[in-house]
């Protein structure tokens, strides 16, 4: 590995650890211009990436962390607030206006929500709860809870750690990752688990790349697991296809670059690690932050004022957000 570069810029202004990030969606054909961050003390901040100026800051909750951010349109931002649920904000107004709130049912963990467009009319949200083991499915536009998915033997699985929608063979399924290391693929229409595998360590983060059907599990140990999801809609299968170790234990975050060529992990040791998707070889270890790298986000395309390619944003417990333009040429 060559000498790792420095970040192309570092955004300041957060007064608490940065726990979630997302690039704001732009109108078709326009370069990305803004980045949103959520903090441990319940604040949401939006920066303009060309001017590097903080555009908006508001409190989504005075005491709970922002676990997940999602941008649907240039002026709509979704925020998963720990203990409370998902709040959808109209960011075109000053101050931002709370449009919708989807409650969470007695879930106390750090798992994140996730959304998907089922079709042109329906947006689905998976949100942790009821309890520590369940996950609920909501129709966002109708503000209607469709179902709750709870394992029949909750003690076997332990707490829900992460959940994510997967589009497999044209069928939308829900992957749930549990404290026990079980990864369960749910048919949410039938309230049934259709496929399952297990890793040996406690999962801390999970991501998935739709084109390659590859999943990544980061754990509380030095282990990283690579999953493959079959795309046969009649018998969707998943399996652990590779495991490897990193130098220091504990990953808080992971993400796959949109083009599927590489992925990154954020560690308790403050490192950002790049890997190739094809052979899972380490490409670089970035050592800028002083504390845990809590969250990672790739831009979906080119970002205004930065070189061509995918920009990586990394948020840390040290309250900084580093921006990286690496392996784009």
231 has a pLDDT exceeding 80: no
Cβ atoms of residues 222 and 200 within 8 Å: no
Cβ atoms of residues 37 and 14 within 8 Å: yes
Average of per-residue pLDDT across 195-220: 95
253 has a pLDDT exceeding 80: yes
pLDDT in tens, 262-305: 999 999 999 999 999 999 999 999 999 999 999 999 999 999 99
Question: Considering the entire predicted model, what is its pTM?
Answer: 0.95
Q: Which residues pair with 163 in a beta bridge?
A: 176
32 has a pLDDT exceeding 80: yes
pLDDT in tens, 213-222: 999 999 999 9
Cβ atoms of residues 272 and 264 within 8 Å: yes
Cβ atoms of residues 267 and 245 within 8 Å: no
232 has a pLDDT exceeding 60: no
- Look at residue 157 and give its three-state secondary structure: helix
Point out the least confidently predicted range of 29-33, 44-48, 55-59, 249-253. 29-33
What pLDDT does 110 receive?
93
What pLDDT does 2 receive?
61
234 has a pLDDT exceeding 50: no
CATH, domain range 104-242: 2.130.10.10
DSSP line for 17-84 = -EEEEEEPP-STTPPB-EEEEEETTSEEEEEETTTTEEEEEEES-SSS-EEEEEEEETTEEEEEETTT
Q: Where are the domains of the chain?
A: 104-242
11, 87, 193, 305 from 76: Cα distances, Å: 22, 10, 33, 23
pLDDT in tens, 123-174: 999 999 999 999 999 999 999 999 999 999 999 999 999 999 999 888 899 9
Half-sphere exposure of 68 (CA within 13 A, CB side): 26
How high is the mean pLDDT of the chain? 94
Average of per-residue pLDDT across 12-30: 94
Q: Which of 152, 150, 151, 121 is nearest to 137 (CA)?
A: 150
């Amino acid at each position: 590995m060559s000498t790792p570069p420095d970040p192309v810029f570092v955004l300041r202004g957060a007064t608490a650890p940065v726990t979630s990030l997302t690039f704001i969606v732009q109108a078709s054909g326009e370069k990305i211009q803004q980045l949103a961050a959520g903090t441990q003390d319940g604040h949401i901040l939006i920066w303009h990436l060309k001017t590097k100026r903080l555009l908006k800051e508001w409190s989504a909750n005075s005491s709970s962390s922002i676990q997940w951010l999602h941008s649907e349109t240039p002026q709509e931002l979704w925020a998963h607030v720990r203990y409370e649920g998902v709040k959808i904000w109209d960011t075109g107004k000053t101050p931002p206006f709370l449009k919708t709130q989807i409650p969470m049912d007695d879930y106390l963990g750090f798992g994140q929500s996730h959304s998907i467009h089922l079709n042109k009319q329906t947006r689905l949200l998976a949100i942790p709860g009821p309890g520590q083991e369940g996950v609920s499915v909501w129709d966002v536009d109708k503000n209607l809870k469709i179902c709750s998915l709870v394992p029949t033997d909750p003690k076997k699985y332990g707490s829900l750690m992460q959940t994510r929608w997967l589009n497999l063979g044209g069928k939308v399924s829900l992957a749930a990752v549990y404290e026990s290391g079980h990864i369960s693929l749910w048919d949410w229409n039938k309230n049934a688990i259709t496929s399952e595998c297990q890793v040996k360590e406690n999962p801390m983060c999970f991501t998935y790349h739709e084109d390659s059907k590859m999943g990544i599990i980061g754990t509380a140990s030095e282990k990283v697991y690579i999953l493959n999801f079959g795309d046969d809609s009649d018998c969707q299968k998943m399996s652990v296809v590779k495991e490897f170790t990193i130098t220091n234990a504990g990953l808080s975050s992971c993400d796959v670059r949109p083009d599927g060529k590489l992925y990154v992990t954020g560690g308790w040791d403050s490192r950002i690690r790049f890997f190739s998707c094809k052979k899972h070889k380490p490409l670089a270890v970035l050592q800028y932050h002083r504390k845990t790298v809590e969250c990672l986000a790739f831009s979906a395309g080119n970002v205004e004022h930065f070189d061509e390619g995918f920009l990586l944003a990394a948020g840390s417990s040290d309250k900084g957000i580093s921006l990286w333009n690496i392996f784009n040429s």
